[in-house]
């Protein structure tokens, strides 16, 4: 460190003594640089993008008179999936007269569960091109389970599926199956 020699004029014969001066570093440019770097990295960083599932919905008719006709789905070309509470999932291929607590089957959300059920139902369909999965979440269903079923539609390559409310006669059998009254 450099020393500054200061002459003492106090009348003691001109002795010279050295005096150390405190150095002061100006931190303003360093702070400016820090903020510039933070700003740069914030603008150039790619934040995690939300995963979005493409859900193809039919176009809304421009005219109320142009509503599409109701299409009847045959039981042999469809399977109904009921998403229940407590991560339970049920399925059937019955009408109102044929559905009871023995024909409403329970399965799981894994590969050997609902995926296998959907693939077997599609393999046994009369017209595989018109095979439709009808998803019916109950009021107690969890949103995660609904998304899992939509994922299964993509995995099993089922492009024809619909989401609808559970019918009252199905709700009675469902409640009987899960033990609610």
Q: If we measure between CA atoms, which residue out of 120, 136, 116, 137 comes closest to residue 128? A: 120
Q: What percent of the chain has pLDDT over 90?
A: 10
Q: Provide the 8-state DSSP code for 36.
A: H
Chain segment 76-119, per-residue pLDDT in tens? 788 899 998 888 899 888 887 888 878 888 888 888 888 898 88
Residue 1 vs residue 17, higher pLDDT: 17
Chain segment 31-57, per-residue pLDDT in tens? 999 999 999 998 888 777 777 766 666
Give the CA count within 13 Å in the CB-facing half-sphere of 129. 0
Is pTM beyond 0.85? Reply is no
């Amino acid at each position: 460190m450099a020393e500054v020699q200061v002459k003492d004029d106090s009348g003691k014969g001109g002795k010279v003594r050295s005096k150390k001066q405190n150095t002061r570093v100006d931190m303003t440019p360093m702070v400016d640089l820090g903020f510039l770097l933070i700003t740069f990295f914030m603008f150039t960083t790619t934040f995690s993008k939300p995963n979005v599932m493409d859900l193809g919905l039919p176009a809304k008719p421009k005219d109320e008179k142009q509503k599409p006709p109701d299409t009847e789905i045959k039981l042999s070309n469809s399977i109904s999936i009921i998403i229940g509470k407590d991560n339970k999932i049920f399925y059937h291929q019955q009408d109102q007269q044929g559905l009871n607590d023995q024909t409403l089957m329970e399965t799981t959300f894994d590969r050997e569960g609902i995926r296998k059920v959907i693939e077997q139902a599609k393999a046994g369909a009369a017209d595989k091109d018109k095979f439709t999965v009808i998803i019916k979440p109950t009021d107690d269903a969890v949103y995660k389970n609904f998304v899992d079923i939509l994922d299964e539609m993509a995995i099993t390559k089922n492009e024809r599926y619909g989401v609808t409310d559970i019918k009252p006669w199905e709700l009675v059998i469902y409640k009987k199956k899960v033990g609610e009254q």
